[in-house]
Amino acid sequence: MNRLSRHQQFPTDHFINRELSLLQFQRRVLAQAADRNVPLLERLRFLCIVSSNLDEFFEIRVSGIKEQIRLGSRSAGNDGLKPIELLDRVSLEVHTLIAEQYELLNEDILPALEAEGIAFLRRSLWSDAQRAWVRDYFMREVMPVLTPIGLDQAHPFPRVLNKSLNFAVELDGLDAFGRDSGAAIVQAPRALPRVIRLPAEICEREYSFVFLSSILHAHVGELFSGMHVLGCYQFRVTRNSDLFVDEEEVKDLRASLKGELQHRHFGDAVRLEVADNCSEDMANFLLQHFRLSQKDLYRTPGIVNLVRLMQVPDWVVRPDLNYPPFLPGLPKTLEKRVEIFDAIRRQDILLHHPFQSFSPVIDLLRAAADDPQVLAIKMTVYRTGTDSVLMEHLARAAQKGKEVTVVLELMARFDEEANISWANKLEDVGAHVVYGVFGYKTHAKLLMLVRREEGGLRRYVHMGTGNYHPRTTRFYTDFGLLTCDEDVGQDVAEVFKQLTGLGQASTLKHLWQAPFSLQPNVVAAINREAEIARTGGRGQIMAKMNALLEPETIEALYAASQAGVEIELIVRGPCALRPGVPGLSENIRVRSVIGRFLEHHRIFYFRANGEDNVYLSSADWMDRNFFGRIEIAFPVLDQRLKRRVIKEGLRAYLGDNCQAWEMLEDGRYRRKSPRGVHRSAQTILLAELAAGR
């Protein structure tokens, strides 16, 4: 029996829908924007994060639902919802969420910013001096790059890029050729900034901004000489951005992906956003053109792309309105500036980002590039960014004649172009670049160095829960482990052998690997705790992850709960499990922690009759991670580091009463309220681990 058919046998009332749970996560992020205890500019940033998250939600999740409907699917998911029913629920929920988001922006955050001397000026409030400056800016910087397109037989509706800013203009009158189409489209080039700061000398406040949309609204008549502008309306289209590469047709993955990326900007439309002043006629015209329905229309009382405000907190120099800065710390074993290879040989090293620095990983790769005793470097790359010091060190190592092998995941969503660029650069200097196994994303985070030392060759390994992306290590919570344990090194070498060559999967001594042993080992570990509880022992599971969705694992957790196992789950995002249901999951508690940093590490703890088995992983408990990706979970073998992981990664979060949300059995969340001492896990970890502690 295949895995899918087993899933269909599980009762539908055991599961929360993934998409609806994702929207509950957006509500928790929005609550950070509403929280008066959060610094004001950070509240604005959280508000923008909601918009960014919703963009991806439509590009990937909603587009997937629509594709199911287009193909005529009436199959229900594990939760029992059919695609058409789910789309209706999603539309209703997102419309409500967006209304709350803009109300928070317009009624709370923008007035609070204005009171602090940070204003976004409406056209009606511009002074004469500001109006003159804006006109000059429009004529000098904006108008020369605009191409207004009147809609008629000779000028069809232009192609509209995914998430681009556009204006639909209603016109009256005849042009120079006697044409009267009544409508035109103006596309804002991506090169133009969407938020413009006005000179301080013409403003009352230190920071005054205007939106590009306001500037264009004020001067759109300049684009249509002699005609009367009846209306000018912002609009934005979100498109299906999932990529598809046919395994049977592809000959060269990189070339095929390059071609597919060109289509991402023009995929099928899934959402239309318009300003709330848009006329019904124009809204209906746009819906008809993009083949969307009324449920796909989202009217916004403000700019249609709040993501553009994400830059403002970086432009405004007001430390009192931001989170206080901190300097990431270093483990004590590295504070003495010992040589990195010596430090790892002495003992395994655990790094807890962002509270502790990512620099030891960079230092290790830098040392490897320069050390003549390092013969080979192997590394997996999922996301690393367009500018990466790690990639530069790899390139330098290859130039020095070392055997450099990079398993680079070309299909890392929205990072495909950056990864293709790095593939080209690395190959140009002689590195071996491979793309893993087609059909399985390589999501494992592995770095292995082979070094000649007295007694033979030794492997040095870094394994992590997060990407090799120096920038995100400052904002994501992740663990990284540096070790030269011989058995662990052998396991990692076997994984690389699979990724670069051909052959059967080997039995690994310590690592659990997807798509082979990870899910079976997780389920087996859950079942062992259940058996311990049934025979009178204490069964206990603690786990932290980004998402919990895989049905078989959820059913195992239910069975363990019924056997008396204490189960504490920290799930940042979507969770399909229903906690606290009598007779099903009364021993399971689920919480989500949303704070300054994005919770990203995956930690699996099984008490195992006092053995305290602890695994760190790149994988969430999801179908895609267990069965559609190459992932690893690695044990923390050092008892001292194991205690650290339990204390810092689990207990601290289970004790959080400031930024934690408790999941209810119906999928909603209730925020924990401090009683007595306020405990924020992230604040505590900053105090304990950051430099200067």
CB 571 within 8 A of CB 547: yes
Instruction: Retrieve residue 194's tokens.
Output: 């969407």
Overall size of the chain counted in residues: 693
List, in order, residues 6 or more apart from 158 with CB less than 8 Å away.
Answer: 149, 185, 187
Q: Which amino acid is at 626?
A: F
Alpha-carbon separation of residue 540 from 559, 568, 611 (angstroms):
13, 8, 11
d(CA 622, CA 514) in angstroms, rounded, equals: 11
**Residues ≥6 apart with Cβ < 8 Å to 64:** 242
Task: Report the C-alpha gap between 223 and 150 in whole angstroms.
Answer: 11
Three-state SS string over 458-470 comes to EEEEEEECCCCCC
Q: What is the 8-class DSSP label of residue 690?
A: S
Is 265 labelled as part of a ligand binding site? no
Output the DSSP codes for 255-322.
HHHHHHHHHHTTS-EEEEEEETT--HHHHHHHHHHTT--GGGEEEESS-S-GGGGGGHHHHS--GGGS
413 is in an annotated binding site: yes
Catalytic annotation present for 443: yes
Is 305 known as a binding-site position? no
| Separation between Cα atoms, residue 70 and residue 56, nearest integer Å | 20
> Strand, coil or helix: what is 684?
helix
Q: Cα(209)–Cα(134) distance, rounded to whole angstroms?
A: 11
Catalytic residue, candidates 443, 462, 469, 601: 443
Q: Does 424 count as an annotated binding residue? A: no
Taking a C-beta distance cutoff of 8 angstroms, is the pair 620, 602 a contact?
A: yes
| Residue 614, strand partner residues | 605
600 is an annotated ligand-binding site residue:
yes
Residues contributing to the annotated binding site for Mg(2+): 383, 413
Residues contributing to the annotated binding site: 53, 383, 413, 476, 572, 600
Active site residues: 443
